[in-house]
Amino acid sequence: MKDRTFDEWMEDVKSYVRGPASVWAKRIEESGAVPAAIWQELNERGYLRLAAPRDYGGVGLSFREYLLLLEQFAGMHGSMRVIVHVMNSLWRSIDGKATPEQRETFVLPFIRGEHKVTFTLTEPHSGSGADIKTTARRVGDEYLVNGEKWMIIFSDVADFFLLFCRLEGSTGSEGTLALLVPRDAPGLDIELMPPAMGVTGTAHGHLRLTDCRVPAANRLGGEGDGLEVAFRGFLDPSRTAIGMTCVGAAGRALELAANHALERVTFGQPLAKRQTIQMWLAEMATDIQAAKQLVLYAADKFDAGLPITTEAAMAKLFGTEMLQRVTDKALQIHGGPGYFKSSEIERIYRDARMQRFEEGTAEIQKMVIARDVLDRAGRERSQA
């Protein structure tokens, strides 16, 4: 693939979203499945390695540039958006603690699209952090892993599960592990969960591990580094990226709502002539722009090598709640016809709800933000 300027990438992505992606969206909704051809097409077009460095075989875009493309991708079907987002984010988590050998075995093939990896943290009976209960014990050159994971995206197609667990007997962040568990690992049982409300065709799995044998060579970092692999280098940019996918999806909802308001005539005039509709459209546009600027502020700090934990939480919190407000107004503008599955706004409305769960709920983001606010206040008091 020849080198392209950012503007050329932008035009290519816009054309794809308006053309082939819209055709795929109809097929996904009709069949309830994401064909393997979509993965292949997205990979061949270079869309799954936009954020990866050039010396890894990626396109090498800055984080800001990648997010501006992701804004366009977010106008696609939710399942396609998730593929682009996860594949452009997860390489950081794998690479952060990888040895040179692991980089050759796992990271570079992942970026080339030769195998698929999925993030495997959430459990049925715990949160998504230091209270994980899945355990491992070292036996020779292997770990024996026992426990459960669920709501794991791409469980139907993943070649490896980037699974987070803890050494038997450890507590908190102490003793946490990050293991790349092969799909065919002995002792791993994968049960696909029922279809979700939105992101049609994207399968989530319930994983049960019973003395599951995982090579010790598949451990990223040392024993005790598990949560660092999970969160540092991955979670902050991923949360920021979700903020931008909310901006893109909301932008598409606004576009559909405005067009409907111009076309729909009741009582002899278009909906767009009604002041209430105009006020809603103005609020939606302002909400979207505010969220976008929060995202880009975080992106610029990330590109400058600065920490963005609080900014990422703000971008994700505001973006997801903004998306709910915008899609709700957009559906209201469409009225009854927008509620039926033949309507694109109906699909966007369903897809939008998932993003409030991705990478932590609103309550988690508020805890991160509040911690920073209180830390700064404490420092200022101590200096006074």
3-state DSSP assignment of residue 135: strand
Four-residue CA torsion sign, 209, 215, 221, 224: positive
* Residues composing the chain: 384
Of 223, 359, 363, 380, catalytic = 359
Backbone angles phi, psi at 155, to 5 degrees: -65, -20
**Cβ atoms 159, 115 nearer than 8 A:** yes
Tokens of 207: 């994983």
Q: Identify residue 192 by its one-letter amino acid code.
A: L
Residue with tokens 């409907």: 260
Residue with tokens 């969960």: 193
Angle at which helices 20-31 and 344-354 pack, to 10 degrees? 80
Exposure b/e, 248-278, CB count within 10 A at least 16 = b: bbbbbbbebbbebbeebeeeeeebbeeeebe
- C-alpha–C-alpha distance, residues 369 and 313, integer Å: 7
Burial class (CB in 10 A: 0-12, 13-18, 19+), 80: buried
Catalytic residue check, 11: no
DSSP secondary structure code for residue 360 in this structure:
S
Exposure b/e, 28-50, CB count within 10 A at least 16 = b: bbeeebbeeebbebbbeeebbbb
Burial class (CB in 10 A: 0-12, 13-18, 19+), 98: buried
Task: Catalogue the active-site residues.
Answer: 359
